[in-house]
Amino acid sequence: MADSDFGFRVEEHTRKKSFQCADCGYRTLHSIYLSDHMEFCPGEKPFKCGECRYSTASRSSLSDHMKRHRGEKTFYFKCADCGYKTTNESYFSNHTKSCTGEKRYKCGECGFSTAYKASLSHHMRRHTGEKPLVCADCGYKAPHSQGLSDHMKSCTGEKPHKCGECGYSTTNKSHLSAHMQRHTGEKPFMCGECGYRTTTKSCLSHHMRTHTGEKPYKCDQCDYSAAQKSSLNAHRLKHTGEKPYKCGECEYRTANRCYLSDHMKRHAGEKPFMCGECGYRTVKKYDLSRHMSVHTGDKPFMCGECGYRTTTKSRLSKHMRTHTGEKPYKCDLCDYSAAQKCNLDVHRLKHTGEKPYKCG
């Protein structure tokens, strides 16, 4: 038996047994055990239920019992701090810990603490990497039952949560809730800095990093850091050279799922984003935003060194290298480096001897 389990058992034995039978003196830790005992206690039970065979020594116990027949709840436990009520002692005990802020179970690896032993056990799997739950169909492993449950729905193709407005369905109830806000237009989470609104709390948290400049996700191979975990995952593929997303129509491969999605639209001839001024259509929303500056003349990105203005953040980044002298694109065959990737691509042809451009 684990030390923590032994400690729990000792605590069970040393705690005061505050629930007592008035007929025979039987005592217990839990009210539900006393209720079970009362049904079989040999003591005198003058108060009898007219609906079933239940009888009791207490008028108030009979009154509480009758509420069960009427479908009413009898609340034995009430929180003095917030008014929470329950008939279950263990529920009440758990509530009290969270209501009072008591967090007796602490992680020895980090600062995490919780009111519940089970929550600590789940948390520890983040440190150990333990994934004890396995999908019988594909071998997928999950650290928690909820994770396995969500996986099983995708593994079997089951999507029980369906939108009543359109044909959308999903494996996850929270995903459906987020989807429904597209129909209602509801964006309950608002940024106090700029008024930006969004559908989820996590999206707002991501947005706030544009104001704070926080980049908590750091690469262990170089100095790169990112505001979003997905950006870090995409960056890491640059170190490995891995391009896991492959087009089924041609040989195109990419490290980014969104790039593959945009690429597939080219095969389909799909250009969902259209300019309302001239009819220009494009595969990507970003390209449409960049195109619109042709009509508006807007150049929101400005160099603080010389006043140069441009339509995109990436162009400004390239321009800034003329001031800093930065040349991040390096040749792996010699000491050559370049400020622009296209210049490095041209340089590499000198090593390969390749001459791709031919006179027609």
37-82: pLDDT as tens digits: 655 566 677 788 888 777 777 777 777 777 777 777 655 567 766 6
Question: Which token pair is 110?
Answer: 């980090």
Paired residues of 169 in beta bridges: 162
Residue type for position 166:
C
Query: Model confidence over 298-357: pLDDT tens digits?
Result: 888 888 889 898 888 888 888 988 899 888 888 988 999 988 888 888 998 888 887 777
Q: Which of 117, 107, 22, 92 is nearest to 61 (CA)?
A: 22
Delimit the domains of the chain by residue range.
Answer: 15-100, 301-352
pTM greater than 0.85 (yes/no): no
Residue type, 319: H
Q: Is the pLDDT of residue 129 over 50?
A: yes
**Rounded to 5°, angle at Cα 342 from 338 and 347:** 65
Write out pLDDT tens, residues 283-315: 888 788 888 888 888 888 888 889 898 888 888
CA gap 22, 145 in Å, rounded: 43
Q: How far apart are CA 145 and CA 131, in angstroms?
A: 10
> Of 108, 140, 105, 138, nearest to 126 (Cα)?
108
Answer yes or no: is pLDDT of 222 > 80. Answer: yes
- Integer angstrom CA distances of residue 88 from 60, 64, 68, 156, 260: 18, 14, 14, 36, 53
Average pLDDT, the chain: 78
Beta strands 329-330 and 337-338 are: antiparallel
pLDDT value at residue 12: 43
- The two tokens of residue 82 are 């917030």
* Measured distance CA(94)–CA(234) in Å, rounded: 41
What CATH number has the domain spanning 301-352? 3.30.160.60
Paired with 134 in beta bridges are: 141
